[in-house]
Amino acid sequence: MHRAVTVGLRNVHIFGITYSSSEGGAAISDFILGRRGGKPTTLLVESFHAPRSSTVRSGEEIDYRSSLLPRSGLDAAMSLVERCEFRARWTAEAVATLSALRTGASVVFADRLHTSSFDRIVRRHNLDELRHALISSVESLAASMESGGGSPAGQASSSSPPSPPSSLDRLLAQNALCVHFGELWSERHALMAHFASRTQGDVALVCGSEHVEPVARLLEDAGQRAELSAADLSALLDESETSRGSPPSSHWGEDELEKRAALAALLVTTRQFPPEVVLPSSDELGPEDLARAQAVYPKYRAAFAQRLQLAAEAAAGRGADGDGQVRGSAGGAGQGGGAGGEAQQQASSPYGLSQLPDLCQSLGQQSCRKGRASDHDS
């Protein structure tokens, strides 16, 4: 999916992707490399890969060149991005990132950290309100699965076999959960449109396909006015902006811990986001907090899984009856490594952003070995 919007004298090109798929990567790469009249000066992204120790801020360049990717192999990786076989083996996000680095374009984070969005959900809802919101979202997801509307991002052909009932993530559209929370949906669109409208020169924005139309509408309706005021921007980028994981649990009360455990249970069930964006892993929680989380987490996990499993079985039964609309999705929303990493990679899935450091390191080692062999021969 590709939408072009004119903002002032500049063009904003919005490319929609499936996070764990290579589909569309070749077209995006050709555009960034200038083969389709593009060659933007800035690539805006909603996902990145960086160690937890790194600071990645909204609206700022992601420092892939000098610190996040091994320099010794980065040049070799960038040279591979034009090859068809390489593009087919890597996600569209990874291909777009390498293409931008090859042209010298800036790669800028145009979203906010998922930890920040989930922190806002926790703060804005009391426990009863959040329970109601989670139940409503699960019922909506289940109804969509049962009616065959689980994944507008991509529909399989009528000859495709039904997905196994246990593969809930295959029956849910990517970003399906986001639409139920403004913190995961409209607020993030406002940020993407803001950064697209204020960036100088032509811009390419790569985001989940479901985000394309909302962001395009904001830019079309508001144009340069889509740029947020300093106060509005500050309100959307709050104190958890620089956090790469859930905040320390030492100050959490019982209600907040239960809210985080309930959200984590939903994320584990749907695989829409990594659960660590809202609740630290068990080895990062203190003994008391771990015991409290373990006391409440199972009931939410069981309730959510049971409801969605019933919906998945209904969808699988409908597919087996031959209605020809078995639908599948590819994973959840990725962001940064560690706390905001990509959804778990399937064996047949393309490589993603998190594998770029290993690629560069491997290519760098190969280059060093070739250089030593050449020195030895001479």
Q: Per the domain annotation, does 329 fall within a domain? A: no
Q: What is the pLDDT of residue 135?
A: 97
- On whether both 268 and 280 belong to a single domain, the answer is yes
- On whether both 121 and 218 belong to a single domain, the answer is no
Q: What is the pLDDT of residue 155?
A: 34
- On whether both 205 and 277 belong to a single domain, the answer is no
- On whether both 15 and 71 belong to a single domain, the answer is yes
Query: CA triplet 134, 249, 252: central angle to 5 degrees?
Result: 65
Q: Per the domain annotation, does 32 fall within a domain? A: yes
- On whether both 12 and 59 belong to a single domain, the answer is yes
Average pLDDT, the chain: 81
Q: Per the domain annotation, does 368 fall within a domain? A: yes
Q: Per the domain annotation, does 209 fall within a domain? A: yes
Q: What is the pLDDT of residue 318?
A: 60
Q: What is the pLDDT of residue 124?
A: 94
Q: What is the pLDDT of residue 345?
A: 44
For residue 177, report the phi and psi dihedrals to the nearest 5 degrees. Answer: -75, -30
Q: What is the pLDDT of residue 68?
A: 72
Q: Per the domain annotation, does 326 fall within a domain? A: no
Residue 172 has pLDDT above 70, yes or no: yes
pLDDT band at 148 (very low <50, low <70, confident <90, very high): confident
Q: What is the pLDDT of residue 174?
A: 79
How many Cβ atoms from other residues are within 10 Å of residue 35's Cβ?
A: 12
For residue 39, report the phi and psi dihedrals to the nearest 5 degrees. Answer: 60, 60
- On whether both 130 and 67 belong to a single domain, the answer is no
- On whether both 367 and 297 belong to a single domain, the answer is no
Domain count along the chain = 2
What b/e readout covers 184-216, taking b as 16+ CB neighbours within 10 angstroms? Answer: bbebbbbbbbbbbbebeebbbbbbbbbbbebbb
Higher pLDDT, 317 or 271: 271
Q: What is the pLDDT of residue 203?
A: 94
% of the chain exceeding 70 in pLDDT = 78
Calpha distance 128→134 (Å, rounded): 10
**This prediction's pTM:** 0.82
Q: What is the pLDDT of residue 149?
A: 60
Q: What is the pLDDT of residue 167?
A: 58
Q: What is the pLDDT of residue 342?
A: 36
Among residues 320, 344, 362, the one where a domain terminates is 320
Range of the domain at 67: 2-113+184-238+336-372
- On whether both 173 and 257 belong to a single domain, the answer is yes
Q: Per the domain annotation, does 256 fall within a domain? A: yes
pLDDT in tens, 81-123: 999 999 999 999 999 999 999 999 999 999 999 999 999 999 9
- On whether both 73 and 201 belong to a single domain, the answer is yes
Residue 326 structure tokens: 């078995």
